[in-house]
Amino acid sequence: MLDSDLAELYGVKTERLIQQVHRNTARFPEKFAFRLNHEEFSNLTLQFARSRSWGGRRTLPYVFTEHGAVMLSSVLRTDQAVRMSILVVEAFVQLREMLSTHKELAHKLEELERKVGIHDQTIVQLIEAIRQLMEPPADDKKSIGFLS
């Protein structure tokens, strides 16, 4: 999540949030929080139509993972930050559950495709066998009996 979005959720200014991150750098390793580079930020600006004009952002934003978002509540120490950290954890848990459900569904679809593919081949072979049985017998039978 972007620093500005988390600041809004936690009820603090973005500057204060970033200030606390700088004061507590040991709590925010690269896998908890990182800064976007210029290319990533411009892609984000284009994708979400964020303002570049006067009054817009002048520094590259921080991005926080779920662990970083939770860690923010320990450094911000406001009642709203504590409430929001609980909601953030619950949101990430729900997101993980949804992703795992989709993975299970995708796996089951792959299994079904594989089974249908095997059954399709079996059905084609069965139809070919039935067609062969339906063909009239060839007339090159040898006569049985005595020849005169």
Per-domain residue ranges of the chain? 3-101
Please state, as a whole number, how many other Cβ atoms lie within 10 Å of the Cβ of residue 73: 21
Cα 148 from Cα 95, distance rounded (Å): 91
pLDDT 10s digits, 69-90: 888 888 888 888 888 778 877 8
Per DSSP, helices labelled H in the chain are 3-10, 14-23, 38-48, 66-76, 79-134
The verdict on pTM exceeding 0.85 is: no
In 3-state terms, what secondary structure has residue 104?
Answer: helix
**Structure tokens given for 138:** 């060839």
pLDDT 10s digits, 31-60: 999 998 888 888 777 666 555 545 567 788
Question: Could you tell me if 69 and 85 are in contact, meaning their C-beta atoms sit under 8 angstroms apart?
Answer: yes
